[in-house]
Structure 1
Amino acid sequence: MKLDIPATDFFDEYLHDEFLDDDIEDPLIEEIAPWIDNAEDGSNTDDETDGAPVEEDPNLPQTTASSTNTYNVSELVQEDWDPLRFEHEGASPQCLLRITDDMLDLFKNPLPLVHIEAKDISRFYVAMMGPSGTTYEGRLFLFLLQCPPDFPTRSPRVRLLNNHGVSFGPKLCASGKVCLDILGTTDNCTWSPTHSIKTVLMAIQSLLMEAQ
């Protein structure tokens, strides 16, 4: 699945300048480069998954649509925030159903200057431009977002990929960790099953807006 949102000439050219015109050494960037090269084609492809979805862990809390079930999962998320550590983790039926709903919402109501490309059914590359009027203006931020099997009970995992080991302030760490309450990567976890992938992306955009 591709979501071009919106595919401006400047946005596409910046994708090429950032990743394709330079010598690529990082294997992550090598993997990402093909979809960046085709980001402007605007075509939609069907999501595919390798093998059957994994069964939901019975020890995990049950998903609920109620915002009252916002138990503290910050300790869990603090230890497993990095999607690169869970590349072989499968997606549960509840996770797949919710991802489908969230991605349909993003397709119908896209966010400006955001490009999303599915790595597989539960992992997505997200390219986001720094907002104008901020110190991040004109900079491309590339994230990897993964939904764990118990999503939306637990928040997605998010990593900043193209910071090259540099910290962009206290909330965009050199490790790639994105520190947001909604992700449970701070001391205050505000994630709720009523939140969505779009909610997470909007929170990241707001974080970039803080760099005035």
Structure 2
Amino acid sequence: MKRYSREQMAERVARDIPEGAYVNLGIGLPTTVANFLPPEREVFLQSENGLLGMGPAPAPGEEDEDLINAGKQAVTLLTGGAYFHHADSFAMMRGGHLDICVLGAFQVSGKGDLANWHTGAPDAIPAVGGAMDLAIGAKQVFVMMEHQTRSGEPKLVENCSYALTGIGCVSRIYTDLAVIDVTEGGLRVREIVPGMTFEDLQKVTSAVLLPPVEGAQA
């Protein structure tokens, strides 16, 4: 089965981030989106530990150990960028000042519920961090994740079995197999990886999917 690579997923998410947007990239896979934003497009990347105006990852050997994102990864700061108190950063997140946040997920439900902080495993360390603030504070929530777990279980489900981060908060889902919108009518497929049919996509998805609208623009 053909799948999008992680780099292709990041590039696809980057395409949907418009000029002038204020965006938070969550820990893990979403941070790679920064490397695919066109340099001519002005996008303001925010990190919950108190950064605004982040650029792509630094070149090897050029890391600044004092300049990191919330995932403790080295980042760059673009001209005009700033760093500030953690509390001010959370005020931005909770106050509705972010246009988009991009988060990873363990599960997303057919209603757009998000579960991305705890699987219930006995050895897991529960740490919701700022995800719940982002999930309800950002104007749009994009989820970026593999379509299935490593054991092949669907991550798009009718109802989440893991502890929720936010209820009905997800706007769009990007996986290694498809791009899917959360609509009032359900999960509407926008794009499918080349070579896969809608029927095949439904077979690896627990939640009910709606087919792409004929003639719709990707």
User: What's the TM-score once normalised by structure 1's chain length?
Assistant: 0.25
Higher RCO structure (Cα 8 Å, ≥6 apart): 1
Higher strand fraction (1 or 2): 2
Structure ranking higher in helix proportion: 1
Q: TM-score, normalised by structure 2?
A: 0.24
